[in-house]
Structure 1
Amino acid sequence: MMSPLRLEVVVVPVGDVDRSLAFYRDKLGFHLDVDYHPNDRFRVVQLTPPGSSCSVQLGMGLTAMAPGAVDGLCLVVNDIELAHRNLTDAGVTVEPIRHKRSVDWQGDFAPGLDPDRRDYASFADLRDPDGNLWTLQERGFAGRNTDS
């Protein structure tokens, strides 16, 4: 039997830790778990998105990745329209919502929400101040049309 493997922390490379901390905490609503800064060469800031069991770490001396190098992190939301509006109201630039063009998805997108609000079918992108790319992805929309 294999031991459980849990993804609990992802390092996100940033250039200005304080600016990134403010963005993730104040604009995205992540909870600050740790801000450890024992010297001027090392700092680790750990934040957790609301409802998530996986956290992100920002800081100095954590990674050799260049600030802004992360592309493809997903934040799963129950209502992408609401999440888009809340983030935009908080001052976050969020790209327009898009959806998988077809049920037999070939990697192409169409503008707007998935007409049936299918799980994993509607998306919107945002970038942190360093350019790290996050994608909102809808799953579990309560008002989804289940007749099709």
Structure 2
Amino acid sequence: MTSRNTADLKFSIEVITLSVSDVERALRFYVDQVGFALDVDYAPNESFRVVQLTPPGSACSIQIGKGLTNAAAGLVRNIFLVVTDLEATRNHLLEARVEVGEIIHKIPIDAWDGSFAPGLDPARRDYASFARFSDPDGNTWLLQERGYHKS
């Protein structure tokens, strides 16, 4: 058996498959409301369809469709969408009729014990502020702020 140093390897997550109950409804939600780009919509027959969607600025896409997975719809939890301005992103999604939860931030500020307080992290530190939303099937997303710079 050959051993290889993992520093020489490169791993890249490029696609996450989400099971949905209604492909058209999910497609409209992700494109029209959330703002993902439609990359592929391919259906060579009635039993298979792959729809690939990419969040703006992301190197990782999601796939929804028919015949992709036998998992029940809505089981995926806490897919992180990292954004540079959580407040602006949340407002944009609310205007697009996406039900987004209130913004919360981790406490204590310099530790991580799983506790949260309402609102943005007072210092807008990376990885400290969050807001949740779900797709129509209940797959959940967690918006997380990183790289905020006041203009």
Q: Flag whether TM exceeds 0.5 (same fold).
A: yes
Compute the RMSD of aligned alpha carbons: 1.1
Q: What residue number does 1:10 align with?
A: 16
After superposition, residues 11-90 of structure 1 pair within 5 angstroms as 11-90=17-96
**Structure 1 counterpart of 2:142, one-letter code:** T
Report the Cα offset of residue 143 of structure 1.
2.2
Query: In structure 1, what is the Cα distance between the partners aligned to 2:91 and 2:145?
Result: 14
Does 2:125 correspond to 1:118? yes
Q: How many residues align?
A: 144
Query: In structure 2, what is the Cα distance between the partners aligned to 1:92 and 1:31?
Result: 17
Find runs of 4+ consecutive structure 1 residues off by over 4 angstroms.
Answer: none
Q: What residue number does 2:112 align with?
A: 105
Report the Cα offset of residue 38 of structure 1.
1.1
Unmatched tracts of structure 1, length 5 or more: none
Unmatched tracts of structure 2, length 5 or more: none
Report the Cα offset of residue 4 of structure 1.
1.3
Report the Cα offset of residue 68 of structure 1.
0.3
**Structure 2 counterpart of 1:62, one-letter code:** L
Query: What SS class does the counterpart of residue 69 from structure 1 fall into?
Result: coil
Report sequence identity in percent. 56
